[in-house]
Structure formats: C-alpha cells, structure tokens
Structure 1
Amino acid sequence: MKKNILFDGLRSVARIGETAVVAAKAGIKYATDKPSNAKLMRETFESLGSTYIKLGQFIASTPSLFPREYVEEFQGCLDQTPTLPFSYIQGVLASEFEGRDLSQIFSYIDETPLASASIAQVHAAKLTTGEDVVIKVQKPGVETILYTDLNVVHWAAKLLERAVPKIKFAALSDIVDEIKTRMVREVDFIEEAQNLDDFVEYLNISQNQAATAPKVYHQFSTRRVLTMQRLYGVPLTDFSVVKQYAKDPSQVLITAMNTWFGSLMLCKSFHADLHAGNLMLLEDGRIGFIDFGIVGQLKPEVWTACIAFMDALQKTDYQAMAEN
C-alpha cells in the first residue's frame, strides 16, 4: 500500500514536470511561429495526453460554452484515441485479478481493441462459460494522471480569474470543477456498472422491450475493469448502414429518444453522454445503449418544473413559462 502511494506521488511530481515542459514549449512556439490561440491550445492538449484530450473533446462538443473557433479546432480531439499495446492491458488485468488465473475466467481475449478512448480500451473476449463479452480496461496510470492534471487546471483557472477579473463572470473555475466531477466519476467502473444495472432495471419496470443495455458480469469486474455482455449491431453514426438494417430509420431515433426521455423521470440516473456513437441498432432490431460512464440525475421538482414549462410553451402562456 505504502509502495503504491509513493509510486503515485512520484508519478504526480513527474507529471507536473512534464506539463511544465510542454507548456514552456507551447510558449516558445507562440513567440516564434505565432499560431492561432485555438490551434496552439489544441496541439498543446494533444501533447499532454489523455486528460487534456478529454477536455478537448468537451470543448468540441459544447458550442454553447466555447467560441466557435475553439469548437471547430478541437474537433480533431474527437478522433484522438491512441491504442495501447496489449501487453499493457494484460498488466492491468493481472493486477486487478491478482491471485486468479485469467485463463479460468476468459477462454479468449482479442488482442486488437474494438475501441480505444482517452481513459479506457475495449477488447472482445469470451468467458470460459461460453458467453461473448467485452472488457473495458482502464489504461495504466490514467487515474493518477487525471487527478494531477485536473488539479493543475483548477489551479490555473483560479489564477486566471484573479489575473483577469472579467473571466470570473464566465464561471471558469466552476466549469472546471464540473468537468473534474464528471471525469473522476468516469474512472470508477464500479459506479458505471451500477449505472448500467439501474438502466436495465428501468427498462424492465417500464416494460420497454425495444431497447436494452449490456448485462454486467460483476464477478469479473473491478474499479478498473468492466466485463459486459457483447451487443451485436451497428452504431447509429453509420446512418447508411442503419437504413439497410431498419425499415424505418426515423423510428429508430424516435424509439431511442423516447427511451432516454423516459429515463429522466423513471431511472435513478440518465445517460448524460448520449450521442450516435453510444447508440446501436442491434441485429434483433432493438436499440442498444452503451457507455454509461457519465450520467446525471434530475430531482423530482426539476422534472415537474420541466413538464410545467413544456405545457406552458404549448399554450403560449409566457407568464407561466417565466415562473417555471
């Protein structure tokens, strides 16, 4: 335990030093090449790796918060998902299942990842009992780097607010804190497993047979490894293929949205990172919801206010809209 704490501490110090070096190089590049602020920031984020790429993805997908120039420049971060050699993934699996023979759990693990993101990598596998599964494995050192990076970003935001008082009105540090909360929760796969269970329970209670989510194999899951049922189908990102699978593609989207809206009220949490890449049209025609790392909760009073607002909007009752 002490050895791990010492190792994490040394890694944090090294990460701060690495961040300082990259920032210094960015400063030199700005002074000599005069690139646009958005381009320099994007290149710097990419050089700093996983946490900053994740922040870049947040900028790219939040046009309501960031200038258009930055949103467009950071679109490149959406494709920045470098894969790790399988030996690193094996190391995480061996560490998480210490004392257990992996060959007694998995009869096969595909060394080529199905997907790779800034925080984790996903591999197809088969359990010794015959079930097809996917294993979501957290990349080595991600959690320590994440905490260190986010603390540095929080500190920088506070300094910037003090140096430029006008920025404080944009609630920059509050935005950073919200991002930090989301990203810290995203590295806890036990919490993600619970989110999946909650969503499946919601589907069962609402008798929704048009949608599904992967079953979690809790006995083979940890804080850094999530073993789930493998769903077969196509992501909704490839609409041309969706049209080949579905008689009425528009109905697919309607079903997905109806299911999601229902979860706002009936599920303990709702999928807060819903986009076409996290939705699948399965071979049996159902909609598959995947990747529950980021979720949100709506308090009952908020939901009631939303319903009242929509009702007032339909009636063009502007006074009631303002009150709600």
Structure 2
Amino acid sequence: MFSLASIPNLARNARRFAEIAGILAKYGLAEFLAATDVSFLRDQLKSPAGGELTGLRREERLRLAMTELGTTAVKIGQILSTRPDLVGPEAAAELAKLRDDTAPDAPQTVRRTVEAQLGAAPETLFAAFEDTPIASASIGQVHRARLADGSRVVVKVQHADIEDTIRADLDIAMGLAELAERGIVELRLYQPLAVAAEMRRTILRELDFSREERNLRHFAANFAGDGRVAFPRTYPLLSAKRVLTMEELDGVSVAALAAAPASPEQAERRTRLARNAADIFLEMIFRDNFFHADPHPGNILILPGDRLGLLDCGMVGRIDERTRRSLEDALLAVASGDAAGLTEQVVRLGRLPPGLDRQALAADVEEFVADYAGQAVGAFDLTGALADVSALVRRHGILLPPTVAHLIKVFAVLEGASRALHPGFSLIEVLTPYASKILLRRFSPGEVFARLRRGYRDWNALFESFPRDAAEILRRAREGRLDVRLDHKGLDGTVNRLVYGLVTAALFLGSCLVLSSRVPPLLFDISLFGALGCLAAIMLGLRLLRAIRRSGELGGRP
C-alpha cells in the first residue's frame, strides 16, 4: 500500500496528478496506477477506454495519451522512442511519431521574455524583429530578425512559464517512477527511477538555451575547415538561458528536397549528399565522441554549394572513451562475423540482470550475426538490424546505457534521412569502411602515444605513492595500530545458522543435565525446567533443519 503523503513529488501536484490519471484511464493505460493501489485515484481509474479508442493498438493509445498530456509527456515520449530496449520496438516506433507543435505565445509575451532575458526590448537590440514566428515547438518559438550590420538572424524564444509546467510534470513523473519501482516487482529490473532521472536531466538541459549555444560553438570548432557542413553562428551577447540568437541558414530542408521529383543528375547529387550526411555523423560519433542526437530530415538543410546545415542542437550525446572503444569493438565484430566478440561487447556495455543465461544470449547473438552476415552491403537493412539488437537485449533483460540507446536511434533516424534523399542508400556502405579506419586509428602513432602517456601517468602515480604508503603501513605495524579487515560476502546467513545451532545444542545439553539431576520443581518425578528446555531445543533444531532444507543446502543442490 502506498499513501500519497509518502511521495512528496505527487503531493505537491495532486490536481495535475489527478488530471494525468484521468487521461491515462480514458485511453485504457491506468493499469500501472491501479497496481500501486493509490486509493484516492479509484474513481479516476474505473472508466475503460472510450468506444472510439477500442480499435486502436495499445501503442497508438499511448501516443494519443501523451499528445493530450502536453509538452512534458511529448518530450518524454520522444526520449522513450530512443529506448526500444525499455519500451519495446513497437512502442518506440509509435512514440517516434510524436510531434511537438505548439501554439505560439502572443507578441507582447515574447517581447517581455526577450526584455527580461537580454535587458532591452527587441526593437532596441535588433534593427528588425518579426512578431510572427516562423516555427513554434513545445519549448520555444523562432522569430526572424536583422542586426544593425544587416546580418539575418533567427531568435529562439522560450515559451512563457513553460519551465514551471515542465518541472511540475517531471516531479510527477519521478513520483510515478518511485511508485513503480517500489510496488511493481516486474519493473524493478528496468530501474524506472533511474530512467526518469535521466529523462529529467535531458529535458531540463533542453530548457537551457545557453547550453545549446555552447553545443553549436563546439560543433563549429570540431568541423572548422570542413566544407561539407555548416552550423549556425551564435551571438552570445544576444543570447541567454531562455533566448538564443543565431545565424539564419538559407537552404532547403532534406524533407522538402526529398518531396521534389529527381532527375538522373539530381539522383547523383542526392546520393553524394546522403553519403556526406552519414559520414559527418560518423565523424561526430567515432572521432569527436560528441554527436547531434536528433538528425531527422527537418533538422538538416541543404545550403548553397551542397553544404549541409545542421539545426536544433539542443539534444546532443556524449560518449566516454570506454563506451566508444566497446562500440568500435562491436562494429569490428559485426564486420568480421565474430559472434563471440559481439556477445562480449553486449555484456560489457549493458547492465545484466541476475541469473542471465549467457549461453542463450550467445546463441541468439550468433543467430543474429548469421542472419545479417550474408546480406549484400547495398541491401543491408541497418534499421532492421538495430531493431533486432534492441529486441535481443530486451528479451534477455539487458539494459543498455542511455548513450548507446540514443546512438542506435541516431543510426536509424540518420539512415531514414539519408534514404529520403536517395531511396537506395544504405548507411552500412559508409559504416563498413569505418572498421578499417578504427584499426588504423588505434595503431596510429598518435593513438599509441596517447595510450602510453595515460599508462605512464598511472604508473608514475603508483610509484610516487608506493614508498609513502608502504612506510605508513610499517609505522602502524610498529605502533600496533595496523588493522586488517576481512569482508566475507555471503557468509552472514551461514554464520547465523552456526550460532543458532550452537545455542540449540547448548540448550539441549544443559536441559539434559537438569533432567538427570532432577532439579526441582518436579512433575511426575521429572524436572519441569529440564523437560521444557529439551522440548524447546528439539523445536529449535527442527526449525533449523527446515530452514536448511528450504535453502537447498541439505538434500537439494550439491
């Protein structure tokens, strides 16, 4: 049983919580809440899905419910669409359809936000500022403007009060995750509280436009001198936490270009653009360890000179060195058809459930490698392969790190965007040569030197600290203050049983002595205390024997 008062995140937002429960019940998605037995929501949970929803799949009803719940739910759904290992491939595919179009704020509201963030009204900061936005999403809206020097810019302005709304909804999400982790045993494996905390961090980072401004500058520095790609130039003096001013890129979106008919000459151009897009993202991932996490066709522009312009850099991913090397090893294993190597990397990357059947996992991975190893490069379905990998790890209860799950989604979306440009394009054609690039980079003089330098630092720190630590140990030994602590994991139960048995045996022997000595009081010439002690010892011994049998250590497992 759970009480509302035990979950402060829910108690602070009880009205909104009840509204969420009502919408979930409307779409037939309130079983989770019912399982937690929150008594004050019983009336909200009685109604099944309405008649107009009965023909829809559960995944479709989930998408519709999240759309009705608003901005935060849409954002959460979009993040969950990158985690098929958590929600399953069907739900992930459905949640990927969520759109975050939102009605724009009124012009006077936008002006108040700009003035509060930048210290002056838009007409003072800009030579021209268009009140009508060119786009409005869940978090902010975008306005065209012009600087005093004539530069054309776009100004991204956060919706008024959206942060308070999102924080309240995130508090509710954290409360629901806590209820789920405490009350539903089947969900504990998926760590709903940790997943909710990760989503909270991701969404709150998107609310900070100054972080997006830093991301844009980071990408621009990484690709300085690369004529294939451009990122909008930012204006830090005209940007703040809720306002971002950046260069307006003049181009055609990949989505618009894909909708236009293509001549043979255009088909060749689109193939080149698709390869460039794929190659740029692979450079982000395997070279920079820092990548754009939302490469859908609307975020990629085709600029003059066939340069690619990348927009909306609020959602990014970072890979640590260990994860990158494991991903590279997985790629090398797939390229060489090494099922055992791929299994090892899956185990190394993921969080394993208790009692994982490694033999069954290895058999499934071997079957996966056999299914895809024989496919021609041009016909290789990378999106399908990634979906199969997600289904495989989910089937075995393995949880992937959020970064790896995002990468799988990035590859799938990137292949979709590339195929929108050129239907016959396969991302694997660009990905396969990276196996050779990985090996060349690993054995390059720079990489070898970097590894030696890291190793030197570790060994140097060890040699510097060893004499001091050894002297400290000897000094404590001379003074008699050297403590050695042995931590025997898993022995607590055994030690408890041993003590229990000794106490039982001592009670039995002592009671037998009392019986034989006829210690009064006597009943039918038998010592009463002796008889009771023997009876208690026999009962304790039978209880101990029963506990040992239940554990399987006697007459059970060897």
- Residue in structure 2 matching 1:92, options 96, 113, 124: 113
- Residue in structure 1 matching 2:20, options 16, 23, 30: 23
Distance across 2 between alignment mates of 1:318 and 1:77:
36
Q: Does 1:213 align with 2:240?
A: no
Distance across 2 between alignment mates of 1:87 and 1:246:
46
What is the DSSP-based 3-state SS (H/G/I as helix, E as strand, rest coil) of the residue aligned with 2:142?
strand
- How much has 1:75 moved relative to structure 2? 5.7
Amino acid at match of 2:230: T
Q: Which residue is 2:147 aligned to?
A: 127
Distance across 1 between alignment mates of 2:92 and 2:79:
9
4+ residue runs over 6 A deviation? 12-15
Residue by residue, what CA displacement relative to the aligned partner does 1:8-56 show, whole Å, maximum 9, x if unpaired?
Answer: xxxx999825413423543774634534565665454334322122223
Distance across 2 between alignment mates of 1:308 and 1:72:
28
- Residue in structure 1 matching 2:202, options 177, 182, 197: 182
What is the DSSP-based 3-state SS (H/G/I as helix, E as strand, rest coil) of the residue aligned with 1:53?
helix
Q: Does 1:240 align with 2:259?
A: yes
- How much has 1:101 moved relative to structure 2? 4.5
- How much has 1:143 moved relative to structure 2? 1.7
- How much has 1:229 moved relative to structure 2? 0.2
Distance across 2 between alignment mates of 1:113 and 1:14:
37
TM, length-normalised to structure 2:
0.51
TM, length-normalised to structure 1:
0.84
Distance across 2 between alignment mates of 1:295 and 1:129:
32
- Greater helix content: 2
Cα contact 2:10–2:172 (8 A) shared by 1:
no
Amino acid at match of 2:227: Q
- How much has 1:173 moved relative to structure 2? 2.1
Q: Does 1:146 align with 2:166?
A: yes
Within a 5 Å distance, the mapping from 1:32-71 to structure 2 comes to 32=47, 34-35=49-50, 41-60=62-81, 62-67=83-88, 70-71=91-92
- How much has 1:60 moved relative to structure 2? 4.8
Q: Which residue is 2:213 aligned to?
A: 193
Within a 5 Å distance, the mapping from 1:298-313 to structure 2 comes to 298-313=319-334
Structure 2: any 5+ residue segments left out of the alignment? Answer: 1-8, 29-45, 346-558
Distance across 1 between alignment mates of 2:219 and 2:179:
40
- Residue in structure 1 matching 2:246, options 205, 225, 228: 228
Cα contact 1:214–1:290 (8 A) shared by 2:
yes
- Over 3 Å counting, the alpha-carbon distance change for 1:242 and 1:126 in structure 2 is farther
Distance across 1 between alignment mates of 2:129 and 2:223:
30
Give identity over the alignment, percent: 26
Cα contact 1:22–1:44 (8 A) shared by 2:
no
Would you say how many aligned residue pairs link Structure 1 and Structure 2? 310
Within a 5 Å distance, the mapping from 1:96-107 to structure 2 comes to 96-98=117-119, 100-107=120-127
Cα contact 2:231–2:311 (8 A) shared by 1:
yes
- How much has 1:65 moved relative to structure 2? 3.3
Distance across 2 between alignment mates of 1:295 and 1:58:
12
Distance across 1 between alignment mates of 2:211 and 2:261:
31
- Over 3 Å counting, the alpha-carbon distance change for 1:252 and 1:299 in structure 2 is same
Distance across 2 between alignment mates of 1:219 and 1:133:
13
- How much has 1:147 moved relative to structure 2? 1.8
Distance across 2 between alignment mates of 1:162 and 1:311:
41
User: What value does the CA root-mean-square deviation take over the aligned residues?
Assistant: 2.8
What is the DSSP-based 3-state SS (H/G/I as helix, E as strand, rest coil) of the residue aligned with 1:281?
strand
Distance across 2 between alignment mates of 1:61 and 1:312:
24
Amino acid at match of 2:19: V
Residue by residue, what CA displacement relative to the aligned partner does 1:166-199 show, whole Å, maximum 9, x if unpaired?
Answer: 1112222222122111111111111111110010
Distance across 1 between alignment mates of 2:63 and 2:331:
39
Cα contact 1:235–1:277 (8 A) shared by 2:
yes
- Residue in structure 2 matching 1:155, options 156, 160, 175: 175
Residue by residue, what CA displacement relative to the aligned partner does 1:217-266 show, whole Å, maximum 9, x if unpaired?
Answer: 11100011000000011211231249587752122121011111111244
Cα contact 2:78–2:95 (8 A) shared by 1:
yes
Q: State which structure, 1 or 2, has the greater radius of gyration over its C-alpha atoms.
A: 2
User: Which deviates further from its counterpart, 163-172 or 297-306?
Assistant: 297-306
Residue by residue, what CA displacement relative to the aligned partner does 1:143-172 show, whole Å, maximum 9, x if unpaired?
Answer: 222222112101111102222111112222
Q: Which residue is 1:114 aligned to?
A: 134
Amino acid at match of 1:51: T
Cα contact 1:246–1:252 (8 A) shared by 2:
no
Amino acid at match of 2:49: K
- Residue in structure 2 matching 1:165, options 185, 188, 203: 185
Residue by residue, what CA displacement relative to the aligned partner does 1:256-300 show, whole Å, maximum 9, x if unpaired?
Answer: 111111112443621122222211111331001111111111122
What is the DSSP-based 3-state SS (H/G/I as helix, E as strand, rest coil) of the residue aligned with 1:228?
strand
Amino acid at match of 1:58: I
- Over 3 Å counting, the alpha-carbon distance change for 1:13 and 1:157 in structure 2 is closer
- Over 3 Å counting, the alpha-carbon distance change for 1:75 and 1:291 in structure 2 is closer
